[in-house]
Amino acid sequence: MEITEKFAFPKTRRWKNHERKGRWIKYAVLAAIICAGLLSLNLAYFLDPISFFTRISTYAFYPVTILIINAVLDLVRPILETLGWMGAARISLHQPMFSGSAIIVLALFIVAFSLGALQNRFYCRSICPLGALLAIAARFTPLRRIVGPECDKDLRCRRICPSGSICEDPLHYDPSECLFCQDCISLCHLSCTAFKLGPPNPSEANTDLTRRRFVAGASAGGIIGVSIIISPSRRVLSDDLLRPPGALPEPQFLGSCVRCGQCIKSCITSTLQPSFLEGGLEGLWTPKHLMRLGFCMPDCTLCGKVCPTGAIRELSLEEKRFAKIGNAVIDRSRCIVWEQDFSCLACDEVCPYGAIYWIEEKGVRRPYVDEKRCNGCGHCESICPIDGASAIRVKPSGQIRLASGSYIKEAATRGLIIEPRQDIGPKDPTKVNGEG
C-alpha cells in the first residue's frame, strides 16, 4: 500500500510525516476488538492487515489478473497455432467470479487507500489493530535506539523516519512506533546513531490514548457484540446457507474464520462465494456455496488445505465424501418432469452418488432424492436446465459438521450410504428412502 500511495499521493500530505495525529485510533480499534472478543464475537478479521490484504487480493486483483492473462492468451493463440504449439494454444485459465458482497471489500480498500492522502502509511500508523498490539509489546523491547552526544540535532533523522517515531529532540524516540528500519543510522551524517541492547524504558512510549478514547473504543466493541448477540439474524439463518465440506460447527466456524478469502480463491468451480447476511451479521464474508454457479468437486479438498486457521478442516478425499454439505430437494412446481410431464434426466445423469431415483406414477416416471445417498455436492443444482433458480436445490438440512472426529463414522451412525455411483442409468428402487 505504501508503494502505491507514493504514486497516488506524491510528497504533499495534509499531515507531515512526524506528526502524531490519529495514532490513538489503532488502540481504540484494538480495545473494541478485545471487548467484542470477550462477548465471543470475532471482529479481528475486519481490519487485520493479513486478512485485509488477502481479501482484497482475492476479490479485486486476482480476477482482474486472470482476465488480463486470458485476454493475452487469446491474442497470441493464433500465433501459437501457426507455430504448431497446440498444447500452449489450448491454455485457458479459469475465470473466477464473485458475488456482490465482494464490492464492500473493494469499497473498504478504497477508503483505507484514500486515507493515505492525510499522511504516508496512514492505515499502518493509525488504524491497524495488529500494529497497536505490536506497539504495546515494543514498549518493552531491549533493543533501543541510542544517539551519541555529538549529535548536532539537524532533525534529518526525524524528517526521514517512515513511522515518525523520533521526537522533536532527536535524542529521544517512541519505541512503540519504531520499525527498526535503521534509516536513521544509514542517513546520519555524524554516524552517532545506533541500536544497542539496553534496559527497556516503557515510559518513553506514548500511545496518545486518553481514558475517554479507550472507553469509547471498548464501548463500541461492546455495543456491536451485544447487538449481534441479541439479533434475530443469529438464530434465523437462511436455508440457502451451505458451508464448505469440513467446516466446523457454526459457532466455532464464525470464531475461527478470518474472512481471508483463500478458500474462495482456490475453489476450482467458483461455487464458494463470500456471504453477505445469510449467516447473520457476524457471518459477513464467510464462505458459502452457490451451487447454481458451480458444484463441489468430489476429488477436490483445496479449501481445507489453504484455510490458515482450521475453520475448514483438511480432509482426505474419503473423509470429504462423507462430510455431507446438505440434501438436494426437488421443487416440484419448477421441475419440468413433475410440472409438465416432460422427459428430463439431467440431475440423475450427473449425480456422482446415485442419489436420484425414479418411481412410475400414473404412467409417468418421476424423480425423487434418496437423502441417505446424497452428500449435497450440488451437481444436480448446477446442471438443471431450467432458467433462473434450479428445480432441485441443495438445502443445509442433514449436513454433517464436526469439530473433531471422523466423518465416516458419523455418517455410519446416521445410516448414510454415500458411495461412488457405478452405473450410468436411472434406478427404480422399490422403497422410497427420501423425497424432495
The pLDDT of residue 430 is 42
The pLDDT of residue 326 is 94
The pLDDT of residue 13 is 63
Q: Give the tens place of pLDDT for each residue, 172-196.
A: 888 888 888 888 888 888 888 898 8
The pLDDT of residue 11 is 61
The pLDDT of residue 4 is 57
Domains in the chain, ordered, with CATH? 1-138+207-230 (no CATH), 140-204 (3.30.70.20), 250-413 (3.30.70.20)
Encode the chain in three state secondary structure: CHHHHHHHCCCCCCCCCCCCCCCHHHHHHHHHHHHHHHCCCCCHHHHCHHHHHHHHHHHHHHHHHHHHHHHHHHHHHHHHHHCCCHHHHCCCCCCCCCCCCHHHHHHHHHHHHHHHHCCCCHHHHHHCHHHHHHHHHHCCCCEEEEECCCCCCCCHHHHHCCCCCECCCCCCECCCCCCCCCHHHHCCCCCCEEEEECCCCHHHCCCCCCHHHHHHHHHHHHHHHHHHHCCHHHCCCCCCCCCCCCECCHHHHHHHCCCCCHHHHHCCCCCEEECCCCCCHHHCCCEEECCCCCCCCCCCCHHHHHCCCCCECCCCHHHHHCCCCCEEEECCCCCHHHHHCCCCCHHHHHCCCCCEEEEEECCEEEEEECCCCCCCCCHHHHHCCCCCCCCEEEECCCCCCCCCCCHHHHHHHCCCCCCCCCCCCCCCCCCCCCCC
Q: Give the tens place of pLDDT for each residue, 365-374.
A: 899 999 999 9
Q: Is the pLDDT of residue 60 over 90?
A: no
The pLDDT of residue 431 is 41
Identify which has the larger pLDDT, 181 or 231.
Answer: 181
Identify which has the larger pLDDT, 315 or 432.
Answer: 315
Mean pLDDT for the stretch of residues 68-92: 89
Mean pLDDT for the stretch of residues 289-294: 93
Confidence of residue 429 (pLDDT cuts 50, 70, 90): very low
